Amino acid sequence: MKIELKKSGQHNRHKDVAAAVVWTTSGSLVSAGDDHRVLQWNETLDDASELINLKEEWYPTSVAVGPNPKRSQGDVFAIAFDDGKFRLMAQTGRIEKTVEAHTGAITTLRWSADGQSILTAGEDGLMKVWSRAGMLRTVLAQSAQPVYGAAWSPCGSRAIHTAGKHVAVVSLKATAKAETWKAHDGVVLCVDWGAASNLIVSGGEDGRYKVWDAFGRLLYASTPDLYPITSCRWSPTGDAFAVGGYNSVRLCDRAGWSYAVDKPATGSVYEVQWSHDGTRLAGACASGDVLLGQLVMRSVSSPRYVVTQTGPATLIARSIAANTDEELDFREPIVKMVLRFGHLVVTTATQCVVYAEDNWLSPSTIMLKAPAVAVTLGRSHIALADKTDTITVYTYDGKTASTIKPPHAQSDRFSATSIAVADDTVAIIDHRDAKAVRVYDTQSGKEMGKPLVHSVEISTILLDQGGASLDRCLAFVDKNRDLCIVQVRRSQRRAEKIATMVSDAMWHDDHHMLATLQEAKLQLWFYPACAFVDQDMLSFTKQGVVTGGDLGKAPYLTSFSGNTCSVRRADGASMTFSVPPQVAVLQSHTSRNAWEDAIRLCRFIKEDALWACLAVIATKAKELNAAEIAYAAVNAIDKVEFLQLVKSIPTAEGRKAELAVFSGQIEEAATTLLQAGLIYRLVDMYIRLFDWDKALDVAIKHKTHVDTVLASRQRYLEGLGQRESKAKFVQYSQSVEVDWDDIQLKIQQALEAEKQRPGATPYV
Amino acid sequence: MDEENTPVTVAGMQFDELSKIRVLDPEKHEQTEELGEECRTFLEKINSFHTVMGGFVELVDRLAKAVDDEKMKAIGARAAVDSLSKKRQSEEQLLQAMIAEKRAELERLQVEQDSLERVIQDQDQFITTHVMNK
Q: ∠ at Cα A21 (A18, A24), nearest 5°?
A: 150
d(CA A538, CA A526): 9
Percent of chain B past pLDDT 90, that is, above it, reads: 43
User: Tell me, what's the pLDDT at A412?
Assistant: 76
Query: Do A483 and A561 reside in the same domain of the chain?
Result: no
**Is A732 within the bounds of a domain?**
yes
Residue B31 CB contacts under 8 Å (≥ 6 apart), including other chains: none
Q: Do A581 and B126 count as a contact with CB atoms less than 8 A apart?
A: yes
Q: Is the pLDDT of residue B132 over 80?
A: no
Query: Do A532 and A483 reside in the same domain of the chain?
Result: no
Asked if A215 reaches chain B (Cβ–Cβ under 8 Å), the answer is no
Chain A residues 253-272 with CB within 8 Å of chain B: 257-258, 260-261, 263
Q: Do B104 and A571 count as a contact with CB atoms less than 8 A apart?
A: yes
Q: Which residues of B touch A577 (CB under 8 A)?
A: 115, 118-119
Query: Do A533 and A470 reside in the same domain of the chain?
Result: no
Query: Do A689 and A594 reside in the same domain of the chain?
Result: no
Query: Do A114 and A248 reside in the same domain of the chain?
Result: yes
Q: Do A261 and B119 count as a contact with CB atoms less than 8 A apart?
A: no
pLDDT tens digits, B30-72? 888 899 999 999 999 999 999 999 999 999 999 999 999 999 9
**Is A147 within the bounds of a domain?**
yes
Out of A573, A577, A580, name the one closest to residue B107 (CB): A573
Percent of chain A past pLDDT 90, that is, above it, reads: 46
Query: Do A20 and A140 reside in the same domain of the chain?
Result: yes
Query: What secondary structure does DSSP assign to A51-97, as a single string?
Result: EEEPPTT--EEEEEEE--SSGGG--EEEEEETTSEEEEEETTS-EEE
Residue A594: count other Cβ atoms within 10 Å of its Cβ: 13
Q: Do A576 and B111 count as a contact with CB atoms less than 8 A apart?
A: no
**Is A197 within the bounds of a domain?**
yes
Q: ∠ at Cα A97 (A93, A102), nearest 5°?
A: 115
Helix axes A666-676, A679-688, angle to 10 degrees: 160
- Name the residue of chain B whose CA is nearest to A247's CA: B94
Chain A residues 400-419 with CB within 8 Å of chain B: none
Query: Do A686 and A594 reside in the same domain of the chain?
Result: no
Residue A626 CB contacts under 8 Å (≥ 6 apart), including other chains: A595, A598, A599, A614, A618
Confidence of residue B1 (pLDDT cuts 50, 70, 90): very low
Answer with the one of A615, A647, A679 that is the final residue of a domain. Answer: A647
Asked if A605 reaches chain B (Cβ–Cβ under 8 Å), the answer is yes
A720-734 as b/e: b if 16+ CB within 10 A? eeeeeeeeebeebbe
pLDDT tens digits, A351-368? 999 999 888 998 999 999
**Is A763 within the bounds of a domain?**
yes
Q: Which residues of B touch A548 (CB under 8 A)?
A: 114-115, 118
- Name the residue of chain B whose CA is nearest to A250's CA: B101
Q: Do B123 and A226 count as a contact with CB atoms less than 8 A apart?
A: no
Total number of residues shown for chain B: 134
Q: Do A577 and B101 count as a contact with CB atoms less than 8 A apart?
A: no
Q: Which residues of B touch A605 (CB under 8 A)?
A: 130
Query: Beta strands A29-33 and A305-311: pairing type?
Result: unpaired
**Is A110 within the bounds of a domain?**
yes
Domain count, chain A: 4
Q: Would you say A202 and A212 are in contact if contact means Cβ atoms under 8 Å apart?
A: yes
By CB neighbour count within 10 A (0-12 exposed, 13-18 middle, 19+ buried), where does A494 fall?
Answer: middle
**Is A358 within the bounds of a domain?**
no
Q: Which residues of B touch A580 (CB under 8 A)?
A: 126
Segments of chain A scoring below 50 in pLDDT: none
d(CA B134, CA B122): 18
Nearest to A401 by CA among A353, A442, A347: A442
Query: Do A477 and A532 reside in the same domain of the chain?
Result: no
Give the gap in angstroms from C-alpha A604 to the nearest C-alpha of chain B.
8
User: Tell me, what's the pLDDT at B6?
Assistant: 61
3-state secondary structure of A520: coil
Confidence of residue B9 (pLDDT cuts 50, 70, 90): low
Q: Which residues of B touch A581 (CB under 8 A)?
A: 126
User: Tell me, what's the pLDDT at B7?
Assistant: 60
3-state secondary structure of A34: coil
Question: How remote is the C-alpha of A207 from its chain's centroid?
Answer: 32
d(CA A329, CA A311): 9
Nearest to A8 by CA among A35, A26, A191, A87: A35
Answer with the one of A623, A647, A671 that is the final residue of a domain. Answer: A647
pLDDT tens digits, A729-746? 888 888 887 888 888 888
Asked if B107 reaches chain A (Cβ–Cβ under 8 Å), the answer is yes
Give the gap in angstroms from C-alpha A578 to the nearest C-alpha of chain B.
5
Chain A residues 532-571 with CB within 8 Å of chain B: 548, 563-564, 569, 571
Query: Do A216 and A100 reside in the same domain of the chain?
Result: yes
Give the gap in angstroms from C-alpha B79 to the nearest C-alpha of chain A.
20
Question: How remote is the C-alpha of A383 from its chain's centroid?
Answer: 14
Strands across the sheet containing A166-171: A150-152, A158-163, A166-171, A179-182
**Is A311 within the bounds of a domain?**
no
Q: Which one of A571, A576, A582 would you mutate to disrupt binding with B, by most B Cβ within 10 Å of its Cβ?
A: A576
Asked if B116 reaches chain A (Cβ–Cβ under 8 Å), the answer is yes
**Is A346 within the bounds of a domain?**
no
Answer with the one of A296, A331, A356 that is the final residue of a domain. Answer: A296
Asked if A573 reaches chain B (Cβ–Cβ under 8 Å), the answer is yes
Q: Which residues of A touch B101 (CB under 8 A)?
A: 258, 260-261
d(CA A547, CA A468): 32
Task: Count chain A–chain B contacts defined by CB atoms under 8 A.
Answer: 51
Query: Do A622 and A656 reside in the same domain of the chain?
Result: no
| Domain that includes residue A568, residue range | 505-647
The one-character DSSP state at A447 is: B
d(CA A694, CA A686): 7
Out of A261, A573, A577, name the one closest to residue B101 (CB): A261
Query: What secondary structure does DSSP assign to A167-199, as a single string?
Result: EEEEESSTTSPPEEEE--SS-EEEEEE-TTT-E
Residue A65: count other Cβ atoms within 10 Å of its Cβ: 19
Q: Which residues of A touch B114 (CB under 8 A)?
A: 548
CATH number assigned to the domain comprising residue A432: 2.130.10.10
Query: Do A541 and A639 reside in the same domain of the chain?
Result: yes
Out of A247, A258, A580, name the one closest to residue B101 (CB): A258
Q: Which one of B119, B121, B130 would you mutate to disrupt binding with A, by most A Cβ within 10 Å of its Cβ?
A: B119
Query: Do A727 and A610 reside in the same domain of the chain?
Result: no
